[in-house]
Structure 1
Amino acid sequence: MAVTAADVKALRDRTGAGMMECKKALTECNGDADAAEKLLKEKGLAAVAKRAERATSEGRLFMRQTADKIYVVEMTSETDFVANNAEFVAMGEKLLDLTVSKGYTEVTQEHKDLLTEVATKFRENMSVSKVEVIDVPANAAGAYYVHSDNKTGAVVVVNGSNADDVKTFAKDCCLHIAAFTPSYLTKKDVPESYINEQKEIFQAQMDQDEKMASKPQNVKDGILQGKVNKHLAEICFEDQMFVKDDKKSVSAKLAETGKAVGASLSFATAKLYVLGK
């Protein structure tokens, strides 16, 4: 059976494969479009398997909020060219739809199978590398934020009230986390081993400072502890100066917001998301 240009174009529209690949598949299948589509999919799946070991350092974060949950899906690809493609973005939304409708809380085979639709077209190694669901209780305010680079985001849930002021504060906290990328929520979350390591670093710096040599030991100890406290305040979310008011810490703004709405507030979730981490 002769293969026409119209046949090739129709198959390309159905599969997204190249014109030459479509023509070859139709020729092999004697013009049977359904058989040719199946053949192209089989070849695409084989190609995807071969690319499985390639690094996927590009991609996007996708987030969505419903009445009581916030959903996070991370898709990775080999190049930013693919990550910024409209079909890749549309697939991220489809993966969110699947996650919400099925109530999935982790990556499933169904996620992987759905992603194959675009992976076979772009001929890149891709993966659904993360699926997470964060609960937003009835008496809480949740918010999320994805930065313009689509590789950095944050989710915050504040317990104690779902008043509008608390929702706004939660959103601002998401902006804060994406901007200042804190390593820990509070000082008590910092491992003792990390604190000891920082003390050793600061102590070594002080030992090299000639001005320190003549100071009493108790003064040196105070200076060392001050350096450690300053460092912890820089890496712990609740101790950082708030992004919208650099005269107050995040914890102080939390208390201030709670007072304004007449509630005792606390962070249930305050999480940074960075692509690939």
Structure 2
Amino acid sequence: MTITAAMVKELRELTGAGVMACKKALVETDGDQEAAIEILRKKGEATAVKKSGRIAAEGVVFTAVKDGKAAIVEVNSETDFVAKNEKFQTFVSNVANQILDSDAADIDAFMAEPWALDTTKTVKDELVSQIAVIGENMNIRRFKKIESDGVLASYIHAGGKIGVLVDADAPANDTVVAAIKTVAMQIAAMSPQYVSREDISDEELAKMREITIDSALNDVSSLPKPIQKDIFAEAFASDALNAEDKAVLEEKQNDKYLFNFLSKEAIAALAAIAMSKKEAIMANKIFNGLVEGRISKQLKEVCLLDQTYVMAADGKQTVKAYLAEVSKEVGATVALKSFVRFETGEGIEKKEEDFAAEVAKQMK
């Protein structure tokens, strides 16, 4: 069957997929539009078959805190314009407040429970109604709930682009609440993954170490000089490098800019030699010191208590030291128990297409 431009145009309007993707799908299905749509869906190309099929990667994060309970939820929309819409914001607020009193353990259970403001319908029914009224696909993507007998604090950044909940074991007074609020701001800005090093499992630490070791070995230019010399010696004794690179290596092996003169192939060959000597290099004390230093640096980035406090007057004080200071001021221990950080659209692939540009490109 001949695939016409009109058929491609119609399929493109139905799905939002690219010109060539639509044409290829129609060719594969011999012009069967429904089958072509199915192919595009499977390949992730279809973006507008219906409102509920469109990518909703914008939206807001909202928090609610009440009576020792806190909830954080992310609700997505297709555009930032709708995310700022008053109806959308009200709906998200209502969702967050319902989560506070909900026993639902996951999204599916939450979507099936009665809508608190109209129990004749479910949360899912209300979402569908809002999609019809607002005119864009929307999605209650995820939520988290915390119950605590300590101090709960929340922080919303950039109108809902980032939301944070923090749970602390501490006395509830104005000084502590203010301090935990600033820690929530820290979490929003610096995106830690753990409260402290103790929260990292042995498996995760082992994986971090393995990645750090392999990364170091694959960057021979960063290795200690004694180790480099061993790698260079093996390179000279083998055919891993061509004659030109061997000449460069022999002439400039003590030059700090050596790797600027070597070919990409030579650099890759040296990395391969380093990886082949991995076990022996790992026994080297200097190399182990390098690895430990890099791991320590990573831990300071991913562990909240190890991070430099963003409001530190000296630019050096850690979050742990700041909380110790607050503890001393209030005469009681202020300890962080957990936190939750949601960032709108994180992990969702945003697909941007320009139909006119696509057509122009295909016409060349």
Q: TM-score, normalised by structure 2?
A: 0.57
SS at match of 2:341: strand
Aligned to 2:133: 121
1:155 maps to which of 151, 165, 172 = 165
Deviation at 1:72, TM superposition (A): 1.4
Unaligned runs of 5+ in 1: 1-47
Identity of aligned residues (%): 26
1:226 maps to which of 293, 309, 319 = 293
Residues 188 and 130 of structure 1, relative CA distance in 2, 3 Å threshold: same
What does 1:184-263 align with in structure 2 at a 5 Å threshold? 184-190=194-200, 191=204, 192-205=206-219, 207-209=220-222, 212-213=225-226, 217-245=284-312, 246-263=315-332
Where has structure 1 moved over 6 Å in runs of 4 or more?
none
Output the amino acid matched with 2:209.
I
8 Å contact from structure 2 (residues 224, 287) kept in 1: no
SS at match of 1:161: coil
Q: TM-score, normalised by structure 1?
A: 0.73
Unaligned runs of 5+ in 2: 1-47, 113-121, 229-280, 347-364
Deviation digits for residues 186-224 of structure 1 (CA, Å, limit 9, x no counterpart) = 22334121232123213433x324763379942332232
User: What is the root-mean-square deviation in Å for CA atoms of aligned residues?
Assistant: 2.5
Aligned to 2:174: 164
Query: Hey, what's the Cα distance between the residues in 1 that align with 2:135 and 2:285?
Result: 64
8 Å contact from structure 1 (residues 72, 133) kept in 2: yes
Q: Number of residue pairs matched?
A: 227
Aligned to 1:95: 95
Which structure shows the bigger proportion of residues in strand conformation?
1
Residues 51 and 256 of structure 1, relative CA distance in 2, 3 Å threshold: same
Aligned to 2:123: 111
Residues 210 and 104 of structure 1, relative CA distance in 2, 3 Å threshold: closer
Output the amino acid matched with 2:126.
L
Query: Hey, what's the Cα distance between the residues in 1 that align with 2:301 and 2:50?
Result: 44
Deviation at 1:73, TM superposition (A): 2.1
Deviation at 1:102, TM superposition (A): 5.1
SS at match of 1:197: helix
Deviation at 1:181, TM superposition (A): 0.8
Moved more, 122-131 or 234-243: 122-131
Deviation digits for residues 153-209 of structure 1 (CA, Å, limit 9, x no counterpart) = 11111103222221111100110000011122222334121232123213433x324
Query: Hey, what's the Cα distance between the residues in 1 that align with 2:98 and 2:164?
Result: 21
Query: Hey, what's the Cα distance between the residues in 2 that align with 1:175 and 1:100?
Result: 22
Aligned to 1:274: 343
8 Å contact from structure 1 (residues 155, 174) kept in 2: yes
